[in-house]
Structure 1
Amino acid sequence: MKQFGKVAVLAGGNSAEREVSLRSGAAVLQALCEQGVDAFLFDPAEQPLLELVSLNVNRAFIALHGRGGEDGQVQAVLEVLGIPYTGSGILACALTMDKSKTKALWHGMGLPTAAAATITASELSTVDCAALLARLGGKVMVKPAHEGSSIGMGMAHTADELAVALKEAARFDGDMLVETWLSGPEYTVAVLAGEALPAIKVQTPHAFYDYAAKYQDNTTQYICPAELSDEQEKQVRDLAVAAFKAVGCEGWGRVDMMMNSNGQLQLLELNTVPGMTAKSLVPMAAKQVGISFPALVLQILATTLDA
């Protein structure tokens, strides 16, 4: 695979998703090496990105999840260094890392997303939880606006529960997104080179799809094909591609959405560097259309050849 040159797989980092990122990076590295790509693991938490120049790196496969890797910072450094990289550019990464601003953009472009409010850390002591809860339908999901992997998330259907959930989310972020509760089901759609892969239906016995359901338990079910009619499958995929393009994403990513109580799809968030672990969803969707994990990794890396 000489056309790729020397490839640095960026994984680890300092975000709350470090451990997941290291697992993603290890899987990507193995797949690349098995296919003859000259690749190695590079952890920005252990060595400065500027060392990529002295290491004569030709391109980077970004497997960094969360802040410092999925928010445009690493992408900006790689741009300055002139090193092509996988995934979206600086602006799209910075935007989609902020769930509140992404929802606002989607809403402004007429794409469906649940009603929500953003509470800052400075407002915690004065927010009227009862009024906020009533405005958003009586039951809500609280999320740190700049975290992934369901870190710091909590649900609330009383004012006291909302106050607790906000304080928990504030441990991870200065902005907390409070979103109208969606009763499901939940779907996730991978987008690769502008095309949607088959939708995956996510079912968990947990109250919601939290960190344990994603990475620790074996009780979560990932159903692909997603038990949708052909028309519904097309609707889900078309919405994912529209959401992906609306924020300027490129290369690959994953769009998460749920249905509300009326059966209407509502966009949740967009991941510009989705997980690539044994339990990850993008490889599962790719497998449904005959793309093996090694082939998927190579296809993602190939998007850097035109950079």
Structure 2
Amino acid sequence: MTTHNQENESNIDKSIDNKTIDTEVSISIINPEAALAAAAQAENNDVENQQSSQNTLLNVAPSKVKDASEFGKVAVVYGGSSNERSVSLDSGAAVLQALQNRGVDATHFDPKHQDITELRQYDRVFNVLHGRGGEDGLLQGVLQWFNIPQTGSGILASALGMDKVRTKQLWQGCGLSTAPFSLLTADTDWQQVVNMLGLPLIIKPVHEGSSIGMTKVNNLDELPAAYSTAVQCGDAVMAERWITGREFTIVIIDDEAYPVIRLEPADITNFYDFEAKYNRNDTSYYIPCGLSAADEKHLQDLSLAAFRAVDAKGWGRIDAMQDEAGNFWLLEINTVPGMTSHSLVPMAAKARGMDFESLCWHILAQTV
């Protein structure tokens, strides 16, 4: 799922790069590989581990599963037929390798090439099937019908989370701040949309992830083309107010918010798009995120409330913005987050003291 980026960086404290903030050691992360390396260095540094702060947390408790044989036969489901297939293939391959390295009897299962009923041969499923078919409640319903334990959220949260509009409507009903939006059709009065939401805008397909089909619109005359791009991904298209400010993601595992990550694409006039997420190495990630302890706690609490409102379970990710006035705005929820080398869940877990193999084990252990 995708968030807006900072369009005006004047309010960002650049001094967090490699400097001490209060009692915490700031790690400026220039790319995902450096993110993991920096987190590992911090984990192994006794002095840093002794420093207490909002962003330096205790290590995760040992898993309740002690032996890989307790998992039985595991299907790591990834690939599929959605527009996010390529990302799912990368995520799933990494998860599969991690589990196999830990001795788990894990096998790749691709619904694009295999009959879904073959999942009955497995004891549990690690779902890394991004996008439609795997993240929208469909796979969750099949596995529930087969009575097969699965990672992540169930039918309701998955279906809601894949629908950006209904998620935002739910958050609004719960009194949770989310960026203003409007549904679009081919007959929409574009001027009315601009009058209501202002400019710039972000145009999104309602049922897609990974920034697919999204366009930033700076002028009224760009709206029709942006709508045409988004509608190719499905009939439901939305416009959302562009929030100028800082961009954050909040990983949630076991109903607990992990250290907040601040994202900064190299081109700060654009947004955290597909290229920035998966193909570029010039996006910066910051852990600690640069927020005060109070603001980070507030953002974590807001994200947990948003996660619970959707009835999400196990693990997931909330994307949010902080505007120039300091207000936080929820954007989206991701119930099957990426697990690639560029992905944010492994970064947050590493900052918490969990390497990638331990993270995959921990998520799978939620099914036992």
Mapping of 1:50-199 within 5 angstroms? 50-53=117-120, 56-119=121-184, 123-124=185-186, 126-199=187-260
TM-superposed deviation, 1:227:
1.1
Q: Secondary structure at the match of 1:245?
A: helix
Q: Does 226-235 or 13-22 show the bigger shift?
A: 226-235
TM-superposed deviation, 1:205:
2.6
Q: After TM superposition, what 4+ stretches of structure 1 lie above 4 angstroms from structure 2? A: none
TM-superposed deviation, 1:162:
1.1
2:80 counterpart of 1:13: yes
Partner of residue 98 from structure 2, selected from 14, 28, 31: 31
Partner of residue 200 from structure 1, selected from 261, 264, 278: 261
Instruction: Work out the CA distance in 2 between the residues paired with 1:255 and 1:132.
Output: 26
Instruction: Work out the CA distance in 1 between the residues paired with 2:115 and 2:325.
Output: 50
Q: Secondary structure at the match of 2:126?
A: strand
> Which amino acid in the other structure matches residue 162 of structure 2?
M
Q: 1:16-74, CA deviations, whole angstroms, 9 ceiling, x for partnerless residues?
A: 00000001000000110011110010000001110122xx2000000000000000000
Query: Would the aligned equivalents of 2:131 and 2:209 in 1 still touch at CA under 8 Å?
Result: yes
Instruction: Work out the CA distance in 1 between the residues paired with 2:273 and 2:179.
Output: 19
Indicate the residue corresponding to 2:307 in structure 1.
244
TM-superposed deviation, 1:82:
1.0
Instruction: Work out the CA distance in 2 between the residues paired with 1:262 and 1:231.
Output: 16
TM-superposed deviation, 1:222:
1.0
Seq. identity, %: 50
Instruction: Work out the CA distance in 2 between the residues paired with 1:259 and 1:152.
Output: 24
TM-superposed deviation, 1:138:
2.5
> Which amino acid in the other structure matches residue 165 of structure 1?
A
Instruction: Work out the CA distance in 2 between the residues paired with 1:279 and 1:139.
Output: 28
Uncovered stretches (5+) of structure 2, i.e. residues with no partner: 1-67
Higher relative CO (Cα under 8 Å, sequence separation at least 6) belongs to 2
Instruction: Work out the CA distance in 1 between the residues paired with 2:99 and 2:342.
Output: 19
Q: 1:182-215, CA deviations, whole angstroms, 9 ceiling, x for partnerless residues?
A: 1121100110010011000000133111111111
Q: Secondary structure at the match of 1:50?
A: helix
Instruction: Work out the CA distance in 2 between the residues paired with 1:194 and 1:223.
Output: 23
Q: Secondary structure at the match of 1:185?
A: strand
> Which amino acid in the other structure matches residue 286 of structure 1?
A
> Which amino acid in the other structure matches residue 198 of structure 1?
P
Question: So what's the TM-score if we normalise by structure 2?
Answer: 0.80
Indicate the residue corresponding to 1:287 in structure 2.
350
Q: 1:57-96, CA deviations, whole angstroms, 9 ceiling, x for partnerless residues?
A: 0000000000000000000000111110000000110011
2:105 counterpart of 1:44: no
Instruction: Work out the CA distance in 2 between the residues paired with 1:262 and 1:108.
Output: 23
Q: Secondary structure at the match of 1:189?
A: strand
Q: Does 148-157 or 130-139 show the bigger shift?
A: 130-139
Q: 1:237-265, CA deviations, whole angstroms, 9 ceiling, x for partnerless residues?
A: 11111110011000000000011232211
Instruction: Work out the CA distance in 2 between the residues paired with 1:261 and 1:116.
Output: 19
Indicate the residue corresponding to 1:2 in structure 2.
69
Q: Secondary structure at the match of 1:152?
A: coil
Instruction: Work out the CA distance in 2 between the residues paired with 1:131 and 1:157.
Output: 15
Instruction: Work out the CA distance in 2 between the residues paired with 1:25 and 1:139.
Output: 36
Query: Would the aligned equivalents of 1:10 and 1:25 in 2 still touch at CA under 8 Å?
Result: yes
TM-superposed deviation, 1:233:
1.2
Q: State the number of aligned residues.
A: 299
Q: Secondary structure at the match of 2:151?
A: coil
Instruction: Work out the CA distance in 2 between the residues paired with 1:138 and 1:201.
Output: 24
2:330 counterpart of 1:263: no
